[in-house]
Structure 1
Amino acid sequence: MVVDTKIIFTDMESLFSSANWSDYDNYSYYESDTCCVGAVCTQHSSMQFEAVFIPVLYSVVLVLGLLGNGLVLAVLGQLRQGWSVTDTFILHLAVADTLLLLTLPFWAAQATNEWSFGTPLCKMTGALFQINFYCGIFLLACISLDRYLSIVHAVQMYSRKKPWLVQTSCLCVWILCLLLSFPDWVFLQAVKDERRGGRVECVHNYLLYYKSTEDWRLASRLLYHVVGFLLPSAIMVFCYSCILLRLHRGTQGLKKQRAIRVILALVVAFFVSWTPYNVALMVDTLHDREAIKDTCDTRSALDISLAVTSTLGYAHCCLNPVLYAFVGIKFRRHLAKMLKSLGCQLKGQVRPGSRRSSVWSESGNTSTSGF
């Protein structure tokens, strides 16, 4: 299933009974060698749940996400000469979401049967998941910081005369996200798990560095929680709190509130989609650190909760285009114009929007960056 929901440990008795440590990869792997008072916990209930839940939900998310993000990319493609700063960030968000969506068939196939695509593809698809997560929240943080400086301090971080600057920022975000996915490129492997019926699955194998197994695992979790969620989230909460306070006191509050409504909706959607997964992952980390009593029931409940909440996170990929369509008036105008040019008959008259404002905003230029 999702690449960070399975933490694997080796059968200690078998490992220490072997005289040849270099052959440890031939042994079976378990998530816990202490569960249920020495007995190995099976995962039949969670496996049955995943075999039905994941393929169905992932199929829905894949279809809706590709259609929605395809429309976003098509609208932006027609207006590439008039992009604002926000439009550029939205373009990169759509690309990141599309890349994640393309990995869903692999995870659905694993849930139905097992991982039969080998370790190299396991590393690639798992890393794409992490890159998309980091890229999504970092781009939203960049947008919120740009709005904060422009509205609260009247400072123009980006300029239409220097389009390379925003492209450079996006490139830096992608490079940073690639670096943060380092644990996935190193530790993800297709391995056999006896707890799950002897199936081969794409999971993190921290036993590659056996003496520091717990250190590597805890470090990767902390990196994910702090750098990938808590820190960017704090930036967004601070920026938008200051923006709303400024708009409440300003003379053009209503107009500017409409201008940032799309981005606020995107931020709220991100938190609703990804916060449950991060909470479940934090509980799983505490469980593995023995802060929570280790039983087969708690292990099974955590596996199911991680499956459900991670699917909610994936659904975020198809939620953004819906927000664009229903919140951004200019996006609807440009989409209607594009459909009309393809021969679709539309009810009502569509007035052309300003090319100088973002296609996601409802009003004209309300700040120096053109959103």
Structure 2
Amino acid sequence: MTQTVRGVIARTKDAAVELVDIVIPDPGPHDVIVTIQACGVCHTDLTYRDGGINDEFPFLLGHEAAGIVETIGDAVTHVSVGDFVVLNWRAVCGECRACKRGRPWYCFDTHNASKKMTLTDGTELTPALGIGSFADKTVVHEKQCTQVDPTADPAVVGLLGCGVMAGLGAAVNTGNVGRGDSVAVIGCGGVGDAAIAGAALAGASVIIAIDRDDTKLAWAKELGATHTINASHTAPIDAVKELTGGHGADVVIDAVGRPETWKQAFYSRDLAGTVVLVGVPTPNMRVEMPLLDFFSHGGSLKSSWYGDCLPERDFPTLVELYIQGRLPLEKFVTERIDLGDVEKAFDRMHAGEVLRSVVVL
């Protein structure tokens, strides 16, 4: 039997979001209905609202979520009713060329629910990143659910569903930060600060936070940065080299995703160092540089998709580290808000006032 619940939608491009009734269908064979307990407000949701992803309006927003499995389809084996899960948008297929080559974190054909959620008039909704969790309940594929320790705070661990995992993974998985490494992170919002926390977790000895906002730099210090650079009045490349014996950092992570920040990352690294791009550029951005510089600097230039994570491998481990007090995920939660406050949360995020607002249901 279908259910009618509340959900936050973006009906048209650039319009304020709306809290409306939505219809949850009966699950398909491999689908799962999850009762949402908490969902983070991510910049990707704002990008959906503004038409920056595609034009498949109306969108059901929200994707950084944790909750309880309520109902399962007839063929579901991955989770059970009552399981506490973090939702993910990399539900690996096991059959594509990446999966078959043993690289499932690059899966090219991830699973989504077979049934569509709708408005009460039957209009189909496009769920953000295949999840759509600014709602009392949502329907997802069973492999979009990762079971974790049920004693964890949903408002905290749900953030692994996107931004925090993207940053942590950019350092630990993509950048392969190790003990004693020097790391610089450009951009200290939620993703950048998660990269800083990941570098600290991996044992980096020098962790340099770079931003133009002193408040964000203070957050970075709380999450493990050993040094900070305010790029509004200090040249980042020179400052990074000064803090690393004149050489540059072993790993530089660009959490902004602009041509100028990527160039800063490139020239801030040591010879044979690694650049990781995790900030998402827009389609019109271009980089023009001497090809000789690429050759002479050596090293690795990487992009990081979702922190190159494998949810079934990474989420339970990171949640356990959080519970043990070894990974301060709780510091990412700036405020807890109601479902009707998402538009105000977008304003606060755009103003740089929060790391994460989290909707608690």
Larger Rg: 1
Considering fraction of residues, name the structure with more helix. Answer: 1
Q: Which of structures 1 and 2 has the larger relative contact order (alpha carbons within 8 angstroms, sep 6+)?
A: 1
More strand by share: 2
Task: State TM-score, norm by structure 2.
Answer: 0.27
